[in-house]
Amino acid sequence: MIKNSIFFQAFFVLAILSTNLNAQDDSTSYVMHESLMVTPDNTKLALLGENLRKHNIKFHNEGAFNASVFTISTGPNAGNMIWMMGPLTFKDLDSRPSGDAHDKDWRDNVMPYIKKFHTIEYWRLDAELSNMDDVDINVYPIVMVRYAEVNDEMDFLIKPFFTMVSKTIKAMEGDNPWGLYYNEFRQGDLGRHIASVGFLKNWSEMDEPGTFRKTFNETIGENEWQRFLRTEQNMLKNSWDEIWEYNKYLSGK
C-alpha cells in the first residue's frame, strides 16, 4: 500500500483559476518561488551539471536568489529538470542577478546544453493551510507534487475543503510536511493552477500505511468523509503527479 494513498488523494487535488483567489493579501511577507522547467541535452549532461553548479554557486547561493535543482523522476515530464529560485517576493525580482557577468555565464555555459526551456511559473505558498515549518530539503529530498485543475464553478468550496484537509494533516502523528502553492498567473489549457507538495525522507516511506482517514474521522467527523470525497470529485477536472528528487550538487551546495 502506498504511504498515505488517501492522504495524498485528499490534499493534492485543487486548482485556482482566478487571480482574485490567488491573491492572499497586500503584504510583502509571503513565500513564493520562481520555477523553471528545462529539458537537458542528455548527450551533454556532464557539462551541463558542472556549469549549472558553478553558475548557482556564483550567482544563486543565498537569500531570495538561492537556487535549488530537482530532477523529475515520474509523470509526463520525467527526465526534465526543475530550476527553482527563492523564497522571494515580486519586489525581489527587481534586483535579481543580471547584468553582463550573470547573463553571459547563463548564455554561454548553461543554455547550450539545454534542449528546451519550458514554462516559467511563480508559486505562492498558502502559509495558513500549509505545514511547512523548517522543512530541510536535505532531510526530505523526495518531493511529491500534484498539479491539478478544478471546475471554476466550484471554487467557492476551496477554502472550507482545504480547511478540513489542513486540520487533519496537522493533527496526524509524526512529521507531515506539505505545502499548498497557488500559481500566480493564469495558465489556460495547461491547467497548472495549483501544486500541492509533500516531502519524504526516502522512497520507502511510500510503502507505509497512511493514517489520513483515521485522523479525519477523529478530527472532522466520520459522517463527513463521503461528503468530503464528493466535494473533491466535483471540484477536480484534471490532475497529474510528479516525483522530484533534490540534487544538492547541481544546486551548488
- The 10s digit of each residue's pLDDT in 163-183 is 898 999 999 999 999 899 999
- The 10s digit of each residue's pLDDT in 43-82 is 999 999 999 999 999 999 999 999 999 999 999 899 999 9
Do residues 203 and 142 make contact, with C-beta atoms less than 8 angstroms apart? yes
Do residues 27 and 124 make contact, with C-beta atoms less than 8 angstroms apart? no
Q: List the domain range (segments joined by +) for residue 141.
A: 5-246
Give the chain's domain count: 1
pTM of the model: 0.87
- The 10s digit of each residue's pLDDT in 142-164 is 999 988 887 888 888 778 888 89
Q: Does 27 map to a domain?
A: yes
> Domain holding 52: CATH number?
3.30.70.100
Q: What is the mean pLDDT of residues 186-196?
A: 84
Q: Does 34 map to a domain?
A: yes
pLDDT of residue 18: 35
Closest by CA position to 114, among listed 69, 64, 58, 65 = 69
Q: Does 35 map to a domain?
A: yes
Q: Does 41 map to a domain?
A: yes
- Grid cell, residue 143, equals 518531493
**Cα(64)–Cα(62) distance, integer angstroms:** 7
pLDDT of residue 116: 97
Q: Does 253 map to a domain?
A: no
pLDDT of residue 161: 83
Q: Does 218 map to a domain?
A: yes
pLDDT of residue 189: 81
Query: Is pLDDT of 6 > 50?
Result: no
- The 10s digit of each residue's pLDDT in 213-237 is 999 999 999 999 999 999 888 888 8
Distance of CA 223 to the CA centre of its chain: 31
Closest by CA position to 37, among listed 140, 103, 116, 102 = 116
- The 10s digit of each residue's pLDDT in 21-36 is 444 444 568 999 999 9
pLDDT of residue 58: 97
pLDDT of residue 194: 85
Q: Does 9 map to a domain?
A: yes
Q: Read off φ and ψ for residue 60, nearest 5 degrees.
A: -140, 55
Q: Does 229 map to a domain?
A: yes
Do residues 49 and 101 make contact, with C-beta atoms less than 8 angstroms apart? no
